Structure 1
Amino acid sequence: MVRCRGVKRVTIMHACTTLLWLVTCFNGLHAIKIVKFVVPEIIQYGVQDSVILDCDYTYGNRTPGLMVKWFFRSKTKPVYQWIVSQKPQDIGILRGRVDLNYRASDDPLKMYRALRIVKLDTDISGEYICVVSTFLDEDVRSKHMTVFVPETSFRLIQNKTDDDTVNVICAADGAFPAPNLTIATPEKHLQGVDHRVHLVNGRYSAVSSVTLNDADLPSPAEFICTLRIPQAKYAVRKEAIYYPGPISTTPEMPTAADMQLAAAVGSREPNIFTALTLTALSVLFRLLVS
């Protein structure tokens, strides 16, 4: 009797190859693949009234249970969901902020795949995750988007409290994300700078300050404050000239703006109004008798 062991081994290998080919073909019929994923990295608040996030995909011959879900910052709960043959839904932080009539395609299996977000603000900054799935397959993409807000005020202040030192203060309000503030001279960055950042109503206030000895400074000295928001590739700067020396004793009249401010807060803080009024009277008296 002749044993054909080689023939048996070849037959098994051929069967395995055929099975693998059939599985591959079957999966190909139902494969979901995201082929275009569009989430802008930076958008500027107030410049546009909406933004479109797109998640285009290919699908096979059969798509049982085709569904598109968008998540924000984590995959715990979707902020948008569209099940083919049903109406799209906006959920959570995006409820009432998605144009549910927007169609990214005329293909009935793709038309509501994208998000058109309106009512833009800093609270929708974060990672967006698109999940396209069927009962048989799934594909996922993600990308971070930041709503950038330039500062509403930016100040460089020299506050001299005694004859030998000066406090240099750089302050900014109303920015998002949190700005980086640096204080420098044309020759170098200054050491020992204190940095503080606070989030107020979705915007950041930042202050950097340093105290310097007059003896360590040239006369005149130049200070440079730079505000940077790296995510937006945004930077602005302010410069100021400082003359070391004793505190000036030259009397100064309160400005019209000072008096208006005092009048506005007088009902709440009468001491401010009184102080400014007494200062004005004192200066007027000195000018009259001089």
Structure 2
Amino acid sequence: MLSIARTISPSIIALLIFGCYSGTHGTSIRSLDVPHIVRNGTGPVDLICIYEIDKDDNGLVIKWFHEAYQIYQWIPPMPPQDIGIIKGLAEYPAENLRNPYSHSVIQLKTITIDMTGEYVCTISTFQYEASASAKMIVYVPESDMTVRTYPFNKTHVNLTCAVTGARPRPSLRLYVEGIEKNDRGSDYESSKSSTDWYEDDPRVSLDVIIEDMPDPAVVECEMSIPDTEYRRRKRIVYYPTQLLPYRTNVSQGRHKAMLLIDIFYVIVLRLIVT
């Protein structure tokens, strides 16, 4: 009969030993506090890594990484060092520096768009190492948002929404009288979106071709930045192409009327002066 020891595979024994061994020390990261959504240009913002070091551990080193690139290193009792995207933008509270064995705090004076991404806090000693990660999204509001309509052919009209300057890339939706028109439906031919980048200024646009409408309608564009609560809406009133000649005639009639009034006032003024 095989003994119990022989029936257990070496890999299972290794896992059992590792589980018992890892549970005998208290070196670990307890929490990582990184704001999830931050507006570009705001601040200050704190990145906080709270950890626990076993009393018998020594050789503590704390490191922070952004998108796999190291941006911070602290080897107590020496002061922290910041590099990369946070260099010159980081401050370190005096209270944190007096107690390096419980938490690391990076206070960012100003948030920049380059700070978007995943952050990793790593603590290591001669005995153990632990790490934790969190993601921060830095968004930029739009600098301009326009909604336009123009004829596509004799029976259809093109609706266009364009947004400039927003980051990360926003999502666009077009509505006519509250009904979305850039989703699958039977009342339009096609839709397309495009993204242009020039001089570090992004531009996103959405074009939707729909069948022309017989009556004036409210056309609305909604812009949203993914993974954030940032949203903006802009609306215009669309006038069907068949109404344009009438509106043009009305405008011309009003212009003529105003011109006649101006001429009348000039004649009256001259008679008074003479």
TM-score, length basis structure 1: 0.68
TM alignment of 1:61-80, pairs within 5 A: 61-74=55-68, 77-80=69-72
Aligned AA (2:126): F
List gaps (5 residues or longer) in structure 1.
Answer: 1-19, 254-283
1:205-258 Cα distance to aligned partner (Å, 9 max, x none): 2111123332xx2412332211111311222222222222245494989xxxxx
2:98 aligned counterpart, secondary structure: coil
User: Quick one: distance in 2 between partners of 1:88 and 1:108?
Assistant: 10
TM alignment of 1:1-290, pairs within 5 A: 24=21, 27-28=24-25, 31-46=26-41, 48-74=42-68, 77-100=69-92, 103-104=95-96, 106-110=98-102, 113-160=104-151, 164-185=155-176, 186-190=178-182, 192-200=190-198, 204-214=202-212, 217-246=213-242, 248=245, 250=248
100-109 or 59-68, larger mean C-alpha shift: 100-109
- Cα contact 2:72–2:82 (8 A) shared by 1: yes
1:141-184 Cα distance to aligned partner (Å, 9 max, x none): 10100112221221111224665443211011121211101112
Say how many residue pairs are matched. 229
2:227 aligned counterpart, secondary structure: helix
User: Quick one: distance in 2 between partners of 1:239 and 1:90?
Assistant: 46
1:36-69 Cα distance to aligned partner (Å, 9 max, x none): 21001001224x3221100011111123210110
User: Quick one: distance in 2 between partners of 1:229 and 1:139?
Assistant: 33
CA distance 1:229–1:238, shift in 2 (3 Å): same
CA distance 1:69–1:108, shift in 2 (3 Å): closer
TM-score, length basis structure 2: 0.72
List gaps (5 residues or longer) in structure 2.
Answer: 1-16, 185-189, 253-258, 264-274
The Cα RMSD (Å) is 3.2
1:84 aligned counterpart, secondary structure: coil
More strand by share: 2
CA distance 1:39–1:183, shift in 2 (3 Å): same
CA distance 1:202–1:156, shift in 2 (3 Å): same
- In the TM superposition, what is the alpha-carbon distance from 1:137 to its structure 2 partner? 0.5
CA distance 1:99–1:235, shift in 2 (3 Å): same
The percent of aligned pairs where both chains have the same amino acid is: 29
Q: Which residue of 2 aligns with 1:267?
A: none
1:104 aligned counterpart, secondary structure: helix
User: Quick one: distance in 1 between partners of 2:197 and 2:50?
Assistant: 36
